[in-house]
């Protein structure tokens, strides 16, 4: 059974420059240095260390965390994400991990991931990451086509990406590569993504023995250059049929190479499924540290759960006296809300929601009794099987499954 220990996410909101499609909370280097000075990385990591220490102190005093939450002690996954965490000097990452080990009991076999981008990694960084106990790298490659990389506004080209992949594999066995599908063209400047771009990416995955791949569809988010281009009619989308074909191509090629699809956008060789990400889809708790990070924790009063977020502001994080002053409750989930969310997130996994975890989380409750009507309908429509796994049709129409639990 999948573990239900909480996971821990640390947000590093710095990037060399903003990509054209990105609406994550992150700031380009020059914007950062102009606003906060050269010492911004040091100041930010010091703030993260204070945040971790505050959580430890609060738990040690027997007090509740923000919004009446219970601050967990034992965790078995850490995800240092961003932004571009690999932009930080590696000694700051080591300090951060030391502080995390003081603040939490991190299981000896914990999965500890750091997100990296080509153009920001070096051999020395990788050696230091290993020494610090990091055992998984997630690299934002996105494409191996220079024209698409330019369109996306990435800082690297395909040569740099391939060098980074090889370098990463020299030091790390457990490596994920992120790719993007459904990339449009900019009329008169670049062509939309083609199947050969996808073939090339998957060849590189297999040739380099990469055990985990994420393939996300490009989404046009408001406030990005991509959004503006779409509004102005400057984009040439991939042909709809071709876009669907590219999804099948990704699945077929990866399946043929031995990768199992375990979530809508995620593929892994056996045993390399991401423990941290599985927590999000299995209803586990998580602690979020850093500007903009989100936490999902049990309320001390019983069965409710709280989702709260840290303010998206590096300045406020650096200046925070108490971190509770820069947090906001996003959601208070009662048992019914949480059961529905468990189902929605669980159906992102190909195996569907886990009955045993459900029963454990909800005092012996039975999924079939609680959601009999919805499950019956989804089965009759051929979207899920008797064992709750997604069928091929269910994978194609996953949104219909999710909406059954809203
Ligand atoms: S590197 Fe990642 S987080 Fe940074 S701007 Fe690009 S997509 Fe966003």
Q: What is the pLDDT along the chain (406 residues), one digit of tens a residue?
A: 444 899 999 999 999 999 999 999 999 999 999 999 999 999 999 999 999 999 999 999 999 999 999 999 999 999 999 999 999 999 999 999 999 999 999 999 999 999 999 999 999 999 999 999 999 999 999 999 999 999 999 999 999 999 999 999 999 999 999 999 999 999 999 999 999 999 999 999 999 999 999 999 999 999 999 999 999 999 999 999 999 999 999 999 999 999 999 999 999 999 999 999 999 999 999 999 999 999 999 999 878 999 999 999 999 999 999 999 999 999 999 999 999 999 999 999 999 999 999 999 999 999 999 999 999 999 999 999 999 999 999 999 999 999 999 8
Residues with Cβ within 6 A of ligand 1? 15, 18-19, 22, 24, 26, 82-84, 117, 140
User: Which of 9, 12, 13, 15 to probe ligand 1 with, by most ligand atoms within 8 A of CB?
Assistant: 15
Both tokens assigned to 103:
């603040």
Question: Do the Cβ atoms of 291 and 311 come closer than 8 Å?
Answer: yes
**Domain 7-278 in CATH: superfamily?**
Aldolase class I (3.20.20.70)
User: 22 C-alpha to center of ligand 1: Å?
Assistant: 6
Nearest Cα residue to atom 8 of ligand 1: 22
User: 27 C-alpha to center of ligand 1: Å?
Assistant: 9
User: 18 C-alpha to center of ligand 1: Å?
Assistant: 6
Domain map of the chain by residue range?
7-278, 342-406
- Among 296, 381, 396, 403, which Cα is nearest to 350's? 396
Helix (H, G, I), strand (E, B) or coil at 272: coil
Q: Which residue has the tokens 């738990």?
A: 59
Question: Do the Cβ atoms of 334 and 314 come closer than 8 Å?
Answer: no
User: 315 C-alpha to center of ligand 1: Å?
Assistant: 19
Strand runs (DSSP E) across 188-239, as ranges? Answer: 212-217, 235-236
- Among 239, 228, 139, which Cα is nearest to 193's? 239
């Amino acid at each position: 059974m999948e573990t239900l220990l909480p996971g821990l996410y640390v947000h590093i909101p710095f990037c060399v420059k903003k990509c054209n499609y990105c609406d994550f909370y992150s700031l380009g280097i020059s914007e950062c240095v102009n606003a906060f000075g050269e010492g911004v990385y040091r100041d930010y990591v010091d703030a993260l260390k204070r945040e971790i220490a505050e959580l430890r102190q609060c738990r040690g005093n027997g007090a509740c965390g923000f919004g009446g939450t219970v601050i967990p002690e034992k965790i078995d996954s850490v995800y240092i994400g961003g932004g571009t965490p690999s932009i930080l000097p590696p000694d700051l990452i080591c300090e951060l991990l030391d502080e995390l080990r003081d603040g939490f009991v991190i299981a000896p076999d914990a999965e500890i991931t750091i997100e990296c981008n080509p153009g920001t990694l070096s051999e020395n960084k990788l050696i230091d990451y290993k020494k610090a106990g990091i055992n998984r790298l997630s690299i934002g490659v996105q494409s191996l086509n220079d024209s698409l990389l330019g369109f996306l506004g990435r800082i690297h080209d395909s040569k740099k990406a391939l060098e980074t992949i090889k370098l990463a594999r020299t030091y790390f066995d457990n490596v994920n590569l992120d790719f993007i599908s459904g990339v449009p063209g900019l009329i008169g400047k670049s062509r939309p993504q083609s199947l050969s771009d996808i073939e090339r990416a998957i060849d590189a995955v297999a040739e380099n023995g990469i055990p985990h791949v994420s393939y996300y569809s490009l989404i046009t988010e408001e406030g990005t250059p991509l959004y503006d281009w779409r509004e102005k009619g400057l984009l040439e989308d991939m042909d709809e049929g071709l876009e669907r074909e590219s999804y099948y191509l990704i699945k077929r090629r990866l399946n043929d190479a031995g990768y199992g699809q375990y979530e809508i956008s995620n593929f892994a060789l056996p045993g390399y499924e991401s423990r941290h990400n599985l927590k999000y889809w299995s209803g586990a708790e998580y602690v979020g540290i850093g500007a903009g990070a989100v936490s999902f924790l049990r309320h001390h009063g019983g069965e409710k759960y709280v989702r709260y977020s840290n303010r998206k502001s590096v300045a406020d994080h650096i200046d925070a006296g108490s971190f509770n002053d820069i947090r906001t409750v996003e959601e208070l989930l009662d048992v019914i809300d949480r059961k529905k969310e468990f189902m929605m997130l669980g159906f992102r996994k190909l195996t569907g929601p886990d009955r045993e975890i459900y029963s454990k989380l909800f005092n012996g409750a039975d999924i079939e009794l609680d959601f009999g009507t919805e499950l019956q309908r989804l089965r009759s429509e051929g979207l899920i099987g008797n064992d709750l796994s997604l069928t091929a049709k269910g994978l194609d129409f996953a949104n219909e499954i999710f909406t059954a639990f809203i």
